[in-house]
């Protein structure tokens, strides 16, 4: 079942400029997804006839969702769903449309285990969906779906759908804190790690979107990118939080290729979500930008043509800016990067193996705003810690060594 977005997208247009090399975080969309409840398994396997019936229902249900979305006629989904699941799917299709999706299509479906106990059955599928967006991008991905079905009046109907891995990671047993890095480069708007000294054709990193304080107006952006360390080119993607004067906060996901402004993308993110971003050059000057919300299962991919110097790779927590200067940096607490690697000169290397240098963010009063930690034991992760110092709305936003 296509489940890119569950709740109606909350859209906020924010005109921000990514401070590195004059970059611009422009119009961005945010959508908040509610988590689905886990499904309790049952053990007895189904007989052949029942399995055939369940497969047919799942096939019809998926095709009905695509047809209902295209026709804007949710009634097409009623035959294969319970009332509760039907309402869920109506909301899903509405949210897809709100998030900028223009068409969905089931490309293929493979069936896993199907088990039943009387009038309740569970089934696993591996579904490939093609999604088209209003900005012209197309995403095709395969996800596992676990279904619960009930038999009412002799007909099987879907009562719930869940994609494994959608639940949040347990808050217990957090990773140990890392010590602050020693000697660091300084920047007015960047904090994190940057590597250079070769040709970079891929970068990846994972982080949990930090929960920002709503007591103070501010913004922050978390991203990975290639270029931009000491050059005017930069291809990057990440997440951002924006706290307004009334205390409301909006979380967004975005991609950007300098000198163009950032583009909003229909990937829902919120505080606590685990996000993985990978940017890879697939052929000369053709890049695949891929973002995955590991918490919700949502994905976004876009292939772009971009001329890059391929001169550096970055894992950064940033203070965005407007035409008037840097925005106050939000109080985001701590953001932890993990699984940070890059491909340099054809080799996949950890942040440590790349010899990446830590960067600390300072305000105009020469007070530290955000300080990176030392790298973890694997050499692929670190933290950026927000201090209590106030951010500044002055400064060029240019990266300083």
Q: Profile the chain (401 residues) by mean pLDDT over runs of 10 residues.
A: 41 34 39 31 57 94 95 93 90 75 91 90 91 75 87 91 52 67 90 97 96 90 96 96 89 93 88 96 96 93 96 95 74 96 96 96 92 94 93 45 31
**Within a domain: 119:** yes
Predicted confidence at residue 392, as pLDDT, reads 59
Residue 302 lies in a domain: yes
Are residues 128 and 255 both part of a single domain? Answer: no
Give me the pLDDT at residue 323, please.
Answer: 55
How many angstroms separate the Cα of 296 from the Cα of each of 4, 37, 91, 233, 262?
9, 12, 16, 32, 23
Domain co-membership, 183 together with 332: yes
Is the residue at 80 inside a domain? yes
28 in the same domain as 56: no
On whether both 117 and 17 belong to a single domain, the answer is: no
Query: Per the domain annotation, does 260 fall within a domain?
Result: yes
CATH number, domain at 157?
3.10.450.240
> How far apart (Å, rounded) are the C-alpha atoms in residues 304 and 289?
8
> Quick one: pLDDT at residue 324?
57
Task: Mark which of 162, 193, 211 sits at the end of a domain.
Answer: 162
Does residue 18 fall inside a structural domain? yes
Q: Which two tokens stand for residue 63?
A: 């095709």
Identify the pLDDT of residue 88: 84
Q: What is the pLDDT of residue 125?
A: 93
Q: Is the whole-model pTM more than 0.75? A: no
Q: What's the pLDDT at 139? A: 74
Q: Are residues 93 and 200 in the same domain?
A: no
pLDDT of residue 164: 61
Q: Give the C-alpha separation, 38 to 166, whole Å.
A: 9
Residue 1 lies in a domain: no
Asked if the structure places residue 91 within a domain, the reply is yes
pLDDT given for residue 318 in this prediction: 95
Domain boundary among 162, 191, 212: 162
Q: CA quadruple 55, 60, 63, 64: dihedral positive or negative?
A: negative
Residue carrying the six token digits 């494994």:
164
Closest CA to 65 of 79, 51, 83: 79
Enclosing domain of residue 120: 48-162
Query: How far apart, in Å, are the Cα atoms of 379 and each of 13, 134, 200, 382?
Result: 37, 39, 18, 8
Overall number of domains in the chain = 2
The CATH number covering residue 276 comes to 2.60.120.700
Cβ proximity of 5 and 265 under 8 Å: no
Question: Is 398 within a domain?
Answer: no
């Amino acid at each position: 079942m296509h489940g890119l977005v569950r709740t109606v997208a909350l859209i906020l247009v924010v005109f921000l400029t990514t401070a590195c090399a004059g970059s611009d975080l422009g119009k961005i969309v945010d959508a908040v997804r509610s988590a689905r409840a886990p499904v309790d398994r049952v053990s007895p396997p189904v007989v052949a006839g029942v399995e055939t019936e369940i497969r047919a229902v799942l096939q019809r249900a998926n095709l009905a969702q695509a047809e209902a979305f295209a026709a804007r006629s949710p009634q097409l989904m009623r035959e294969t769903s319970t009332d509760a699941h039907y309402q869920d799917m109506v909301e899903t299709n509405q949210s897809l449309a709100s998030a900028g999706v223009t068409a969905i299509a089931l490309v293929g479906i493979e069936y896993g285990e199907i088990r039943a106990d009387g009038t309740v059955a569970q089934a696993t599928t591996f579904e490939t969906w093609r999604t088209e967006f209003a900005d012209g991008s197309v995403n095709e991905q395969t996800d596992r779906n676990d279904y619960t079905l009930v038999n009412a009046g002799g007909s099987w109907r879907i009562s719930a759908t869940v994609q494994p891995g959608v639940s949040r990671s347990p808050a217990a047993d957090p990773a140990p804190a890392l010590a602050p890095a020693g000697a660091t480069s300084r920047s007015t708007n960047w904090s994190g790690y940057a590597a250079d000294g070769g040709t970079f054709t891929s970068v990846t990193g994972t982080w949990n979107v930090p929960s920002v304080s709503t007591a103070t107006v501010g913004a922050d952006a978390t991203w990975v990118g290639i270029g931009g360390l000491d050059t005017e080119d930069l291809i990057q993607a990440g997440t951002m939080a924006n706290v307004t004067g009334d205390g409301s906060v909006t979380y967004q996901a975005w991609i950007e290729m300098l000198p163009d402004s950032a583009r909003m993308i229909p990937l829902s993110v919120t505080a606590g979500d685990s996000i993985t971003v990978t940017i890879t050059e697939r052929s000369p000057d053709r890049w695949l930008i891929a973002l995955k919300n590991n918490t919700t299962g949502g994905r976004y991919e876009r292939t772009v043509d971009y001329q890059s110097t391929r001169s550096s790779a970055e894992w950064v927590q940033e203070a965005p800016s407007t035409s008037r200067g840097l925005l106050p940096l939000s109080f985001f607490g701590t953001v932890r990067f993990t699984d940070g690697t890059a491909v340099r000169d054809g080799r996949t290397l950890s942040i440590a193996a790349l010899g990446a240098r830590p960067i600390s963010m300072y305000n105009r009063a020469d007070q530290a705003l955000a300080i990176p930690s030392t790298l973890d034991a694997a050499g692929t992760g670190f933290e950026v810690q927000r201090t209590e110092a106030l951010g500044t709305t002055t400064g060029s936003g240019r990266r300083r060594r």
